Chains A and B, each alone.
Chain A
Amino acid sequence: MEAKGIELEAAADDVLVVAVEGEHDIYTAPVLRQRLDEALATGGGIVVDLTGATFVDSSVLGALLDARRRALDAGHGYVVCVGETVEPGVQRILDITGLVPVLPVLRTRDEAVAAARAANGAAPT
């Protein structure tokens, strides 16, 4: 087992995508935190794309929520997307924690990139 499947991808000039694939838990959450730190350091909007993820636990949610808070504090757009068909190991934890509207979670990467770009430069909340 290795900490693979978390990559930074440029979606547009002002939005970076952190693409997450496979299963992720407390073992790989530090790698996710590191990638999110790198994305935050670029100063643009951030999309976390969980389309290829098959399982995420509360350690992953903790990393996503920390990055969200820091992105919002800095006035950067921050949106999570999960794709059109969502794995139960991803959808269920988002549903029962009520985090879909909080993070927020959208379906496609295109929607998420557009939303993150639109929120870029917004006043800190």
Chain B
Amino acid sequence: MTAAPEVLLTLPARPEGIGLVRQALAGMADALDFDEAVLADMKMAVTEACTNVVVHAYPQGEGMLEVEMLAAENGVTIVVRDHGFGIHPHAADAAATPALGLGLPLIAALSDAYELHGGAGAGTEVRMTFAFVRDHDPAAGRPVTGTVGPDGIWDCGA
């Protein structure tokens, strides 16, 4: 493998930008040794993290979405960051925006490791790691539980 590419994308937190983030991931993956299934999981998990930013981070208006891609020996880490309210949903938003509530369960199931950082008003960071080659399926260890409830929101069954 050649030198690790490091990419930082900064774009307005709007729905139309998330496809661009997926294209950047695909471009980066082309230069690395990615298993196709891992790349598909990475696109899905990063899409869900970016969607959380677009839907929840800036209820007062416009803000920026940051996506950082860091390559290491065994895989890549993708950091999705905002400078707003982050991934913590607000009741008012939930009513206005039809969201299923599956974003975080999908991020947990599709990444080999993930961390959430941040707090109210301090912005939020979702840090996801994806191995080039997997020895097990992360969705087996952290499966998405539950199903859709009668209200149309995901019910984890907890």
Q: Which residues of A contact B (CB under 8 A)?
A: 1, 23, 25-27, 33, 55, 57-59, 61-63, 65-66, 69, 87-89, 92-93, 96-99, 102
Contact = CB atoms under 8 A, between A and B. Distances in A.
A26 B150 CA distance: 22
B51 A59 contact: yes
Interface of B: 15-16, 18-20, 22, 36-37, 40-41, 43-44, 47-48, 51, 54-55, 98-100, 102-103, 106, 109-110, 139, 143-144, 147-148, 150, 152
Given A1-B20, A66-B152, A26 B15 contact: yes
B109 A59 contact: no
Contact of B109 (A62, A89, A96, A102): A96
A57 B47 contact: yes
A66 B48 CA distance: 19
Q: For chain B, what secondary structure do more than half of its interface residues adopt (helix, strand, loop), or is it mixed? A: helix
Contact of A27 (B18, B37, B99, B110): B18
A87 B143 CA distance: 20
A93 B45 CA distance: 10
A61 B98 CA distance: 11
A89 B40 CA distance: 6
Contact of B100 (A62, A92, A102): A62
A57 B144 contact: no
Nearest to B103: A58
Contacts of B143: 96
Contacts, number: 82
Contacts of A57: 44, 47-48, 51
A102 B147 contact: yes
A66 B43 contact: no
24 contacts: A25-B19, A25-B51, A27-B19, A55-B22, A58-B48, A58-B51, A58-B100, A59-B100, A62-B152, A65-B148, A66-B152, A69-B150, A69-B152, A88-B36, A92-B37, A96-B106, A96-B110, A96-B143, A97-B102, A97-B106, A97-B147, A98-B144, A99-B148, A102-B148
Nearest to A62: B100
A62 B149 CA distance: 11
B139 A96 contact: yes
A1 B44 contact: no
Contacts of B139: 96
Contacts of A96: 106, 109-110, 139, 143-144
Contacts of B99: 58-59, 62
Contacts of A98: 144, 147
6 closest residue pairs by CB, A with B: A88-B40, A27-B15, A62-B100, A58-B102, A26-B15, A96-B139
